[in-house]
């Protein structure tokens, strides 16, 4: 397995970290439920880990959300097998909130060093390479919403919100200013650039936006941002939940995914003669995502709580349509402006949350967009209203339908998409589908409150 830097550089990096007091390197990856898994090795073993990897079971590909293992996928139907988890050395950072530990994203490879078809990071790298072969490059950024609770439960065992400040108000940050200051400092020191942090609409809910980067870097930073937020919360007696829905009546947490596509450094979502400045290829990119949106959201919002979060009227984008700056649209087009410049134009996918593997989410979006460009698609007219307030007849006239509302509908959309079947490959798609079926079976017959409680601290 080729590493990103030489063995000498790896050895030097390990020595520097050791002198700084680092005792362990945590190598992280996201499973098919969006849950971060990891292995930690002594810092003295960094060079060996970079060269040969760390052994992990193949069955992590078929872990469900509740740490159950499903054998429903024929390719991983026995407890036998091992793969190697290899740290991406040039992404190693010393964790500001856990200074005795360093962190790196990991690649999973087969025991003989060959590619392993279930590695989600590699799936994204393949889509980026496909785009590069066509002269296209992507930028991606995440908005992360989360709820803050007190670490200590209430007297009745329930979860106590960290604050009661008004939505979007500075008073909310005032009540947790120590956490907020530490979080901003730790993100900066960990190399995670953000655009802003603010109190969100829901009770004790916050949002931060990660700066745009190439897709693989964006996914790596999303994992690192999670670790940073959890550590900063713990340091201040708090607990963060990224769960898609923390209560049945709540607005839920979205992890909105922004992307743009360029050719020769020129953003294809601006500067064109099409509507709102779209170039023909930019419009086709948007149309491709829209065409495969039910399948894409099966990957970007895959959990049982995800289905309950996608409700009309909650800015969660329950209907499949696009609009210009329309916050009810599943695809919200953000056009360029004279103030912000052409590079600002992007497409925001709103039905996306923390239960999505960030590498697979981006791979799905890029694959669908590339297919739209290859097919020369043209999107329908944008919708600037809330179709949830329309009659069924009005929605039918405009061809606007709900995104899948059941696990069965979602699974059918995913396996029925030729684009995403090709992008993921039969093995990875089979494992992903088996995990979704295991989650569906687990939730069957359970009350919604029980399901939400079981997911609250998974993310």
pLDDT attached to residue 4: 52
DSSP H helical segments within 329-391, as ranges? Answer: 358-374
The enclosing domain of 196 has a CATH number of 3.30.590.10
The answer to the question of residue 441 being in a domain is yes
Distance CA 317, CA 306 (A): 11
**Are 188 and 59 part of one and the same domain?**
no
- pLDDT band per the 50, 70, 90 thresholds, residue 2: very low
Per-residue DSSP letter, 76: G
Could you give the 3-state DSSP secondary structure of residue 177?
A: helix
Question: Does residue 297 contact residue 410 with C-beta atoms inside 8 Å?
Answer: yes
| Interval 239-249: pLDDT, tens | 999 999 998 88
What's the mean per-residue pLDDT of the chain? 94
Closest C-alpha among 242, 273, 241 to residue 355: 242
**Are 271 and 182 part of one and the same domain?**
yes
**Are 306 and 171 part of one and the same domain?**
yes
410: which 2 tokens? 């979602």
Give the structural domain span for 64.
7-116
The answer to the question of residue 64 being in a domain is yes
Q: Answer with the one of 116, 136, 159 that is the final residue of a domain.
A: 116
Distance CA 301, CA 312 (A): 15
**Are 396 and 443 part of one and the same domain?**
yes
**Are 107 and 142 part of one and the same domain?**
no
- pLDDT band per the 50, 70, 90 thresholds, residue 274: confident
- pTM, entire model: 0.96
Residue with tokens 């209907």: 319
Q: Looking at the predicted structure, is the pLDDT value of residue 293 above 50? A: yes
pLDDT attached to residue 173: 85
The answer to the question of residue 1 being in a domain is no
18: which 2 tokens? 């050791």
Mean pLDDT on 296-304? 97
Distance CA 238, CA 63 (A): 28
Number of residues that make up the chain: 459
**Are 132 and 110 part of one and the same domain?**
no
Mean pLDDT on 300-306? 97
**Are 27 and 175 part of one and the same domain?**
no
**Are 109 and 154 part of one and the same domain?**
no
Distance CA 298, CA 310 (A): 12
Mean pLDDT on 150-159? 77
**Are 97 and 133 part of one and the same domain?**
no
| Interval 168-198: pLDDT, tens | 888 888 889 999 999 999 999 999 999 999 9
Q: Answer with the one of 71, 88, 116 that is the final residue of a domain.
A: 116
**Are 77 and 141 part of one and the same domain?**
no
Mean pLDDT on 135-143? 97
pLDDT attached to residue 23: 98
The answer to the question of residue 121 being in a domain is no
Distance CA 239, CA 329 (A): 31
Which DSSP string corresponds to 180-205?
HHHHHHHHHHTT--EEEEEE-SSTTE
Number of domains within the chain: 2
**Are 154 and 212 part of one and the same domain?**
yes
- pLDDT band per the 50, 70, 90 thresholds, residue 1: very low
Q: Looking at the predicted structure, is the pLDDT value of residue 305 above 70? A: yes
């Amino acid at each position: 397995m080729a590493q990103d830097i030489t063995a000498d550089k790896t050895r030097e990096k390990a020595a520097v970290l050791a002198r700084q007091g680092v005792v362990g390197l945590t190598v992280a990856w996201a499973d098919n439920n969006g849950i971060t898994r990891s292995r930690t090795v002594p810092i003295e073993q960094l060079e060996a880990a970079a060269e040969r990897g760390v052994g992990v079971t193949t069955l992590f590909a078929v872990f469900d959300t509740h740490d159950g293992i499903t054998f429903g996928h024929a390719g991983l139907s026995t407890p036998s097998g091992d793969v190697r988890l290899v740290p991406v050395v040039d992404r190693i950072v010393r964790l500001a909130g856990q200074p005795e530990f360093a962190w790196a994203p990991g690649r999973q490879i087969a025991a003989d060093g060959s590619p392993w078809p279930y590695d989600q990071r590699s799936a994204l790298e393949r889509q980026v390479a496909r785009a590069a072969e066509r002269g296209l490059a992507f930028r991606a950024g995440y908005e992360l919403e989360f709820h803050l609770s007190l670490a200590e439960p209430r007297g009745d065992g329930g979860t106590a919100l960290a604050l009661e400040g008004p939505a979007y108000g500075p008073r909310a940050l005032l009540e947790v200013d120590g956490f907020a200051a530490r979080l901003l400092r730790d993100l900066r020191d960990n190399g995670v650039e953000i655009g802003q942090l603010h109190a969100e609409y829901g009770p004790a809910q916050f949002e931060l936006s990660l700066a745009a980067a190439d897709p693989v870097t964006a996914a790596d930073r999303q994992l690192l941002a999670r670790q940073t937020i959890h550590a900063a919360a713990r340091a201040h007696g708090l607990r963060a939940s990224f769960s898609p829905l923390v209560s049945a009546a709540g607005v839920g947490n979205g992890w909105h995914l922004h992307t743009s596509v360029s050719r020769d450094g020129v953003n294809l979502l601006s500067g064109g003669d099409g509507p709102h400045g779209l170039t023909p290829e930019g419009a086709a990119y948007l149309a491709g995502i829209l065409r495969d949106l039910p399948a894409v959201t099966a990957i970007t919002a895959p959990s049982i709580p995800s289905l309950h979060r996608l409700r009309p009227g909650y800015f969660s984008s329950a209907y499949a349509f696009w609009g210009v700056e329309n916050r009810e649209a599943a695809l919200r087009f953000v056009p360029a402006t004279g103030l912000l410049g052409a590079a600002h134009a992007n497409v925001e996918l709103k039905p996306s949350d923390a239960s999505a593997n960030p590498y697979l989410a981006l791979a799905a979006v890029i694959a669908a967009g590339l297919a739209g460009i290859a097919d020369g698609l043209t999107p329908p007219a944008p919708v600037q209203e809330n179709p949830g307030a329309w009659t069924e007849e009005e929605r039918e006239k405009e061809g606007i339908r709900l995104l899948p509302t059941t696990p069965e509908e979602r699974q059918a959309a995913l396996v029925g998409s030729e684009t995403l079947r090709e992008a993921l490959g039969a093995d990875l798609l089979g494992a992903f589908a088996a995990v979704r079926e295991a989650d569906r079976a687990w939730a069957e017959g359970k009350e919604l409150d029980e399901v939400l409680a079981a997911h609250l601290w998974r993310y």
